[in-house]
């Protein structure tokens, strides 16, 4: 050991010994009074809040809309709330416009923020709603926010995929379902759209893989997680199972299972907002912030 470290470690140990000797179990308990009386607001967050929101949970489309509506009610001088259109299934695409009354909002630099483009990536919705909540509460309290809203305008869309969001939160799903926008699509070209989707056969809230016992199968249980995972066997090894695909039945009697599920649109590469602009609501979102002749940059 380095000679210099020896005395330092020895001194540290000696200092700790008195505390160790005095430590002992006690029946004492802390005071159970209201913790709020002993709390301090986090940096930048005002102690007095006009709109209380629980940020430790996810909200469906109606819940996000309610948050925006309450912010608009409590901060009418800072906000405008409007729908730019409806989704395929008729849900409003809500925009909360946030800026101060100083200057013409139409001539201010604009910041467009949307969340939840992918229906199953729900966290973005709360992140955008929190941004709106934070900006409204900190105007006049935090110098940087005040300067920002005096100079700029924010266009905040918690979700531009409300159909995908609500399906993800309220229905059984797989790891990849409910990702894009929904539009009926006849995948098997039998003249009927979306008539053979996957089903949650065991009612556990998730669409998972089905399997059957097969002495010549190519899959076996994972050695550490046999109830949850399967792994493929080696070239000369016999497995125990054959995988059948996602949970479901042959709803239309054509001998195939899950071949015509809900018609989620495929994504296409885009500049700007980035979601498949075949969805009318997304096209309206683009138009609302990228209007012809508009000199602002987003």
Domains of the chain, with CATH numbers? 61-167+271-289 (3.40.630.10), 209-246 (no CATH)
**Residue 282 in tokens:** 């997304």
Q: What is the pLDDT of residue 280?
A: 53
Mind spelling out the 3-state secondary structure of 32-52?
CCCHHHHCCCCCCCCCCCCCC
- Specify the DSSP element, H or E, that contains 209: strand 209-213
pLDDT > 70? residue 127? yes
Which range has the worst mean pLDDT, 52-66, 127-141, 256-270? 256-270
Q: What is the pLDDT of residue 273?
A: 44
Indicate the pLDDT class of residue 287, thresholds 50, 70 and 90. low
Lowest mean pLDDT among 31-45, 70-84, 280-294: 280-294
Confidence of residue 200 (pLDDT cuts 50, 70, 90): confident
CA dist., res. 131 & res. 126, Å (int): 8
Task: Kindly report, residue by residue over 62-77, the tens digit of the pLDDT.
Answer: 999 999 999 999 999 9
Q: Say if residue 275's pLDDT is above 50.
A: no
Phi, psi of 79 (to 5 degrees): -130, 155
Tokens found for residue 270: 């885009």
- The pLDDT mean for the chain works out to 79
Average pLDDT of 97-106? 95
């Amino acid at each position: 050991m380095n000679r210099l470290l020896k005395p330092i470690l020895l001194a540290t140990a000696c200092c700790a010994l008195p505390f160790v000797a005095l430590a002992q179990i006690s029946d004492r308990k802390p005071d159970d009074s209201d913790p709020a009386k002993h709390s301090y607001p986090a940096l930048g967050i005002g102690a007095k809040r006009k709109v209380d929101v629980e940020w430790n949970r996810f909200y469906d489309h109606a819940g996000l809309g309610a948050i925006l509506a309450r912010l608009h009610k409590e901060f009418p001088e800072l906000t405008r709330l409007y729908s730019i259109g409806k989704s395929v299934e008729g849900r409003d695409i809500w925009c909360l416009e946030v800026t101060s009354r100083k200057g013409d909002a139409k001539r201010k630099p604009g910041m467009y923020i949307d969340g939840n483009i992918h229906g199953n990536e729900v966290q973005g919705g709360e992140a955008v709603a929190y941004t709106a909540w934070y900006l409204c509460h900190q105007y006049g309290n935090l110098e940087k926010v005040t300067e920002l809203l005096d100079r700029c305008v924010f266009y905040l869309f918690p979700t531009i995929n409300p159909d995908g969001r609500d399906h993800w939160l309220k229905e059984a799903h797989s790891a990849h379902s409910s990702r894009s926008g929904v539009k009926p699509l006849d995948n098997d070209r039998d003249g009927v759209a979306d008539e053979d989707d996957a089903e949650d056969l065991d009612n556990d809230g998730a669409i998972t893989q089905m399997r059957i016992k097969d002495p010549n199968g190519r899959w076996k249980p994972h050695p550490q997680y046999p109830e949850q995972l399967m792994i493929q066997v080696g070239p000369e090894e016999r497995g125990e199972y054959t995988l059948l695909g996602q949970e479901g039945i042959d709803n239309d009697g054509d001998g195939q299972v899950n071949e015509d599920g809900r018609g989620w649109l495929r994504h296409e590469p885009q500049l700007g907002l980035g979601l498949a602009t075949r969805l009318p609501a997304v096209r309206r979102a683009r138009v609302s912030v990228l209007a012809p002749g508009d000199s602002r940059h987003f």
